């Protein structure tokens, strides 16, 4: 598989990147981000883009890939609603159009637990992510999925890990035992993305239980 990954300077994207580089199913990775990930690998090429909204439809650097793992994202904390809308909905849809949706390519969008598919709930971030999921799913990709991840255990060798994960690293195994349905690992996320990109799924919304179930098959 030839895969595009965004958000590689964030915790989720970097974890997915490292796991994809180790996986024999992946022959090539194009990492698209505002700055370099700092990683080097024979499979890895980087495409630096200052703003995804500046990408043209059918960008020539983004064609002929088998899947896009869209892991880029921002927190809504302290952000104005319109800014969050721009950085979440508009940016993601602009990137999807730049890929040029086609039957060969699958699109995995990392949304998160609590995303609101009805777009009618009280939480702005959940409505915006729900709208983003819905419109991606309606695009003519081979398949598009909303990845509703929860807590994530980073991959070995990650540099871009949230500070509180580093401080609480010692307690993660305990939380995993107490709340196993809330956790997945970077390896499980990446492996399940590859599986669904190849084999599809009956439903476009992927939950933690789906991630963990499929990851055990690969």
pLDDT for 215 equals: 81
pLDDT per position as a tens digit, 138-189: 999 999 999 999 989 888 888 888 665 666 665 666 656 656 677 889 999 9
Confidence (pTM): 0.92
pLDDT for 183 equals: 80
Q: Is pLDDT larger for residue 70 or for residue 163? A: 70
Question: How far apart are the C-alpha atoms of 12 and 24, rounded to whole Å?
Answer: 20
Q: What domains can be seen in the chain, in order of their start residue?
A: 2-215 (3.40.50.720)
Distant-in-sequence, close-in-space partners of 35: CB < 8 Å, separation ≥ 6: 9, 48
Q: Provide the β-strand partners of residue 31.
A: 5, 46
pLDDT per position as a tens digit, 72-85: 999 999 999 999 99
* CA distances for 37 relative to 15, 34, 55, 114, angstroms: 11, 9, 20, 29
pLDDT per position as a tens digit, 113-128: 999 999 999 999 999 9
The confidence band for 218, taking pLDDT boundaries of 50, 70 and 90, is low
């Amino acid at each position: 598989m030839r895969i595009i990954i965004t958000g590689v300077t964030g915790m989720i994207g970097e974890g997915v990147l490292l796991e994809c580089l180790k996986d024999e199913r992946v022959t090539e990775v194009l990492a698209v981000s505002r700055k370099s990930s700092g990683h080097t690998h024979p499979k890895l090429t980087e495409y630096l883009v200052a703003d995804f909204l500046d990408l043209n439809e059918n960008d020539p650097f983004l064609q002929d890939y088998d899947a896009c793992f869209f892991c880029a994202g921002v927190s809504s904390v302290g952000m104005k609603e319109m800014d969050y809308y721009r950085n979440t909905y508009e940016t993601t849809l602009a990137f999807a159009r730049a890929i040029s949706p086609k039957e060969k390519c699958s699109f995995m969008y990392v949304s998160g637990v609590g995303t609101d598919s009805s777009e009618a709930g009280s939480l702005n971030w959940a409505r915006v992510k729900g709208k983003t999921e819905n419109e991606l799913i309606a695009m003519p990709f081979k398949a598009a999925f909303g990845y509703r991840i929860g807590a994530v255990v980073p991959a070995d060798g990650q540099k871009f890990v949230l500070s509180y994960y580093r401080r609480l690293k010692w307690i993660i195994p305990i939380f995993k035992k107490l709340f196993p349905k809330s956790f997945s690992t970077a390896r499980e996320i990446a492996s399940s993305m590859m599986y669904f990109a190849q084999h599809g799924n009956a439903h476009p919304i992927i939950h933690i239980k789906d991630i963990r179930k499929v990851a055990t098959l690969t």
